[in-house]
Amino acid sequence: MILARVIGNVWSTRKEESLRGLKFLVVQPVTLSYQEDGTPKLREFGNSLIAADQIGAGEDEIVMIASGSSARQGLANNNIPIDATIVGIIDKETFEA
């Protein structure tokens, strides 16, 4: 799974028929790093991506992303052409140095 921050929405009026009804969000992967004082910090890395969202994530939330064939497992139609799905919203994270 990928840890990411929701940074935006995507709207598409013309799309593959099987994508109708899905909400799409732009997410930015994040990784854990530590500041000089040892405080943990989530730092952006890599390229942003578009992920399907069926659980109601919102802007600036930290989410868990399933990718590849695993992204389609929770959908009614597992032949849908997506490769990233939001599968969880992180309420709290705890990191120890």
| Domain CATH for 6 | 2.40.50.220
Inside any domain, residue 31: yes
- Listing DSSP states for 43-82 in one string gives EE-S--EEEEESS---TT-EEEEEEGGGGGTTSS-TTSS-
What pLDDT does residue 42 have? 87
Residue 95 belongs to a domain: no
What is the three-class DSSP state of 35? Answer: coil
> Tokens 């992920």 map to which residue?
51
Q: What is the pLDDT of residue 92?
A: 73
Give how many domains the chain has, as a whole number. 1
Query: What pLDDT sits at residue 95?
Result: 63
Question: At 97, is the pLDDT very low, low, confident or very high (cuts 50, 70, 90)?
Answer: low
pLDDT at residue 74 in the model: 72
Q: What is the pLDDT, as a whole number, of residue 23?
A: 92
pLDDT for 21-30, tens place per residue? 889 999 999 9
Which whole number is the average pLDDT over 36-44? Answer: 86
Classify residue 94: in a domain, yes or no: no
Asked if residue 63 is part of any domain, the answer here is yes
Domain residues for 59? 2-89
Q: Is the pLDDT of residue 44 over 90?
A: yes
